[in-house]
Amino acid sequence: MIKVYNTLTGKKEYFQPISDTVTMYVCGVTVYDDCHIGHAMSYIIFDAIRRYLEFRDYKVNYIQNFTDIDDKIINRANQLGIPSGELAGKYIEEYFKDMDILNIKRATKYPLATEEIPTIIEIIKGLIDKGYAYETGDSVYFRVNRFKEYGKLSHQKTDDMVSEPSGEGVQKESPLDFALWKAAKPDEPAWECPWGKGRPGWHIECSAMSLKYLGDQIDIHGGGQDLIFPHHENEITQSESYTGKAPFAKYWLHNGLLQLKGSKMSKSIGNLVNVKDILKKYSPDAVRLFVLNSHYRSPLLYSEESLDSAETAMERLRQSAMDDKQDYKGDEVIDAGAFKQRFIDSMDDDFNTAQAIAVLFDLAKEINRASIEKQNTSKAREMLNELAGIIGFTLEQPEKLPINAEPLIELLISIRSDLRTAKQWELADKVRNKLEERGIILEDSKDGTTWKQG
């Protein structure tokens, strides 16, 4: 059985979904700029988890929202002199372009906060009626001291928590009370409601969309570790208070954060790298390998050296999986089923993609050894492609070589040399031809092989 680490309980637990269909909610992006590598990291991780659940014969109802109304969106739209909806729409389109290239499967549905206002108002009204929320001016706040388990996800005591700022001129009952509805400001988008014109708070948006599209209780809620408090803590608080059912989410999964030279990547620091810029230099499979080669709960250190290594390593997998390798006669010499079981064991242990990827490279090594010895590897190559696909690798040759392709070219030349030594002329010529298709010309001499761009 699959075991997952549950942030809520702080331990690994056997995965037992509520019904035959796994319900899964992952917090989406706030759409006011291009996606960065931190976004890619989180959505690659949850894509791999979703794919593996589907491989294990679960149906998955996967919801991922777009936050399309927010201070950042409003401020950027005002700077550009365009409506906030136009800005959000532009970056929703750009999100899909980036994620499609990264081979991230589309969610079952992508609800937008601005399209769920009636549901949000209904939930807020219910919380007020139950005494969990109160009006102040034209705003509404959640009364945190009414929810006795506040802090159960972040494992904090209320005395240690940092309160959220209130709106201008708003008097909250307690510093920890958080906004469900914000009073309208001049020249900002606003919606009519029983408390006056305004817009929803960030936390209530996700609760509303999860409750509407997945039900009162769900199996998996995912996101980055930076969302544990206050966002996910507040989601639990308002959702369970409204429905009277606990737990709101059975398993809370949080990915580690991306770091650059020891500090978290963030827009405020200005050290973010956009997905589009990375894909100018590296193949989508290499970006996925860079992310999944660490356990999802661990922090990930960004560097171009790591991406260079991922690109080179991915080419080794591609070469081993090539379906035009010569199939020699005789029985299959590699026990592909044993590698599959190792892969499953790794993924069953809290989706340990790093160990699963190690299995892929062990299998590739065996394929290369057997090929040099002219042994049959056809089923092993089929297995390599199958296992790689389970966690989202395509193993396809990129349409063009990345900008910093020198390490990759040198690796291919080395592989070709080994094939020539083993008298694997046909496959060696295939490597040369593939490089020539991408404008890389090889020149052989008594001193070795050199290359140039044609």
Q: How far is CA 111 from CA 115, 209, 293, in A?
A: 7, 7, 31
CATH level 3 topology of 15-264: Rossmann fold (3.40.50)
Q: Could you tell me the two tokens for 200? A: 């929803």
Length of the chain counted residue by residue: 454
Q: List where CATH 3.40.50.620 sits in the chain.
A: 15-264
Q: List where CATH 1.20.120.640 sits in the chain.
A: 282-453
Strand partners, 452: 441
**203/157 Cα distance (integer angstroms):** 20
Return the exposure string of 84-114: e unless at least 16 CB atoms fall within 10 Å of the residue's CB, then b.
beebbeebbebbeebbeebbbbebbebbbbb
CB atoms within 10 A of CB 277: 13
| pLDDT tens for the chain, residues 1 to 454 | 999 999 999 999 999 999 999 999 999 999 999 999 999 999 999 999 999 999 999 999 999 999 999 999 999 999 999 999 999 999 999 999 999 999 999 999 999 999 999 999 999 999 999 999 999 988 999 999 999 999 999 999 988 887 777 666 678 999 999 999 999 988 899 999 999 899 999 999 999 999 999 999 999 999 999 999 999 999 999 999 999 999 999 999 999 999 887 666 666 566 789 999 999 999 999 999 999 999 999 999 999 999 999 999 999 999 899 866 566 777 888 999 999 999 999 999 999 999 999 999 999 999 989 888 888 899 999 999 999 999 999 999 877 665 567 777 888 888 888 888 888 888 888 888 888 877 788 888 888 888 876 5
**431/318 Cα distance (integer angstroms):** 11
For the CA atoms of 417, 422, 424, 428, the dihedral, rounded to the nearest 10 degrees, stands at 0
Spelled out in words, what is the top-level CATH class assigned to the domain 282-453? mainly alpha
Strand partners, 251: 220
CB atoms within 10 A of CB 163: 14
